Amino acid sequence: MGFTARHPRYTMALIMLLFISILIFANSEPSPRYLSRPYPLSFPKHGEGLPPGYVEDQIKTSEAYYQESLKERQKLITKWGPSPSQVAAFPSNGEFYTLWDFFTPAFRCPHRMQRVGTLGDGGKWVCGLERLEDKKDCIIYSVGVNGESSFEATLLQRAPGCQVYGYDFSVKSFGPEIEKVPSLKRRAHFKPYALGGADAHGPNDDPPYYTLASLLAKNNHTFIDILKIDIEGAEFEAVEALIDAYPSASSSSWSSDDGKSGIAGGGLPFGQLQLEVHVRENMPWTYFPKFLLWWEKLEKAGLRPFWTEPNLVYVNLVRGARPDLVEYSFINIRGSHELVSGQHITY
């Protein structure tokens, strides 16, 4: 005779105990120590819930890692050079690298990072958009509109305190994403200007050229929260001129009088930069040493790439074309603004 036949009451008690235990465990909250927390749908806007100095410490840590990445860049130059003048931007003799391998986005955005605008050509990667969602007097500059404004429209929708200033001599207005939405168009300002390395906006200049510093002065602005530049190769002179207009940015360094983490110096007049870099054949910037000096100038001014995305549209359209168009997103680690501080900044 089996155990269950000899002890039916004991067997039933065990079954009931097992059933009750299953019900209890099924309806109880798991221990927080083992609970896998979901990806947050909201992020601190003004440092709520963040320990004091959290963002500043994240910037400082990322900067240390970025400096290590510069050593790796030098190793790669030595390997394929050994001097910069001997490095080809896009080699054709079986070397396993391209120009972009020397300039990796080794810095980490200390906030939420997301792609804004349409998928494919037109969208950009942005750091910490949540920090601007309820900011008053937020300023966006978009240079190079080209009739597609999903990026700018999404920024205006997400941040109702923002105004966007667009510049492009090849079109007459923003794209339909803004022009056909009255609530967005009221906060959008367009001019058919070109961005360049020098001003040329006299009566005989068509199109009129402005430096970014001149546009800031013309609009009575001192700071741009998000700066997007896509000007088909003219970005080299334009960005150089901007950095030259703010020499204190390049003389600033990571330091703090009280020994805490922080960035000294005024810095460039924007929080982040979304930049499409064009290194087409026969351009002087295809020469690796020249491109390297330009890039190092950006780094010296406090710009750190936190994302890169190759624009492969033209590689697909023109079979056999070089991958010479790349989107970069930079954070400005100098000055005092939302991306480098856990606190809300008032300008």
pLDDT of residue 121: 84
Q: Which regions in the chain score pLDDT beneath 70?
A: 1-50, 252-265, 342-347
141, β-bridge pairs: 165, 227
Partners of 194 in the beta sheet? 209
pLDDT of residue 44: 61
Calculate helix-pair angle for 288-300, 235-245, nearest 10 degrees. 40
Tokens, residue 144: 């190079």
216-243 in b/e burial notation, b at 16+ Cβ within 10 A?
beeeebebbbbbbbbbeebbbbbbebbb
Tokens 């990806």 correspond to 39
Return the CATH number at 323.
3.40.50
pLDDT at residue 319 in the model: 79
Where in the sequence is the domain holding 226, given as residue range(s)?
Answer: 54-340
Per-residue pLDDT tens digits for 2-50: 555 555 666 666 666 666 665 555 554 444 333 333 444 455 665 565 6
Structure-derived torsion over alpha carbons of residues 193, 198, 204, 207, reported in degrees to the nearest 10: -20
Number of domains in the chain: 1
Residue 347 lies inside a defined structural domain of this protein = no
Beta strands (DSSP E) in the chain are 113-116, 124-127, 138-143, 162-167, 188-191, 194-195, 209-210, 224-229, 270-278, 303-310, 325-332
The answer, yes or no, to whether the previous bond of 207 is cis (omega within 30 of 0) is yes
Cα separation, 53 vs 51, whole angstroms: 6
Does residue 319 belong to any structural domain of this protein? yes
Per-residue CA distances from 89 to 19, 221, 256, 283 (Å): 69, 37, 38, 12
Best CA proximity match to 338, nearest among 253, 207, 208, 223: 223
Question: Does residue 3 belong to any structural domain of this protein?
Answer: no
pTM of the model: 0.83
